[in-house]
Amino acid sequence: MSSKNLLTETRDHVLYVTIDRVEKHNALAILIIDAIGATFRDAATDDTLVAAVLRGAGRKTFAAGGDLRELAGLRTEAEAEKMALDAKAAFNAIRDFPVPVIAGLNGNAFGGGAELAVSCDFRVAAAHARIGFVQGRLALATAWGGGPDLLDLVGRARGLRLMSTGEMLEPAAALEIGLYDAVGAEGEDIDDTIEAFLVPIRKQKPQSMRAFKAVSDAHRRGDDRAAMHDAETRMFIKTWVHDDHWEAAEKVLPSKKG
């Protein structure tokens, strides 16, 4: 699906989703958050995909968090709870997407935008793209699942420090602690950085990528070891009996001579 501020296309087995609200620093209006969730839920059944990319339009901002003008009208506990849970459900569509989702940080990600970035499996950033959990500057806390995601990625103490200080991390620092997975060269277009990151992933088969993501999701959910092993076995069986496996095997097995 595509809407005025959310553009989508599928190309070479990859879903591309772009938040296109440059004039508002790609602020996450409620309708955009809902559209992101719907887009990933709808695309989850596409078994030809090996990955998805979520990025912002322009160069300055990946996403600037919630649209403060819109959210200023939400004053009650019930309204705050509904907004937080609805957005978390939309971000869960990214977390639960059956193949890896890459956040393409074309620019800075802060506040709710940082939460959106860490809801993805990987983060690939432009050389100038910083990230910060700055919710405390507005006397707020994380709301959309970004707090637990951050702690999972960088560890409890470091994650707590980043939230407590509101530090905007430079790309090199984010890469060093594992918050970023790749950073482009100075002056390199983010699209080129993303495509370079996708090269080895595109060589995989969709069913293999779904299997890898299923095991990763079981680990993220905190499933016990038996459940993770069950998920691994279930997905392995699907890949084993698939024609793609046997075609690949025939290329490396010695040919039979009669």
CATH, residue 138: 3.90.226.10
221 and 130 part of one domain: no
pLDDT band at 224 (very low <50, low <70, confident <90, very high): very high
Q: Is residue 47 part of a domain?
A: yes
Based on the fold, state whether residues 195 and 213 are members of the same structural domain.
no
Is the pLDDT assigned to residue 200 strictly greater than 90? yes
- Predicted local distance difference test score (pLDDT) of residue 258: 45
**Predicted confidence (pLDDT) per residue in 82-97, tens digit:** 999 999 999 999 999 9
Whether residue 121 lies inside any domain: the answer is yes
* Residue 244 is assigned to a structural domain of this protein: yes
Q: Which of 202, 218, 239 is the last residue of a domain?
A: 202
Q: Which residue has the tokens 């993220």?
A: 220
**178 and 244 both lie in a single domain:** no
Mean pLDDT across the stretch 50-78?
Answer: 91
Q: Do 176 and 228 belong together in one domain?
A: no
pLDDT of residue 255: 66
Q: Quick one: what percent of the chain has pLDDT higher than 70?
A: 98
Band of residue 1 on the pLDDT scale cut at 50, 70, 90: very low
Domain of 232, in residue numbers: 206-250
The verdict on 84 and 169 lying in the same domain is yes
State residue 27's pLDDT score: 93
Report yes or no on 255 lying in a domain: no
**Region 141-169: what's the mean pLDDT?**
97
**Whether residues 51 and 178 fall in one domain:** yes
Considering the domain boundaries, does residue 256 fall inside one? no
pLDDT tens profile 101-124:
999 999 999 999 999 999 999 999
pLDDT of residue 256: 56
In a shared domain, residues 108 and 37: yes
Confidence of residue 257 (pLDDT cuts 50, 70, 90): low
Domain-located, residue 225: yes
Q: For residue 216, what are its two tokens?
A: 């990763």
Same domain, 165 and 217: no
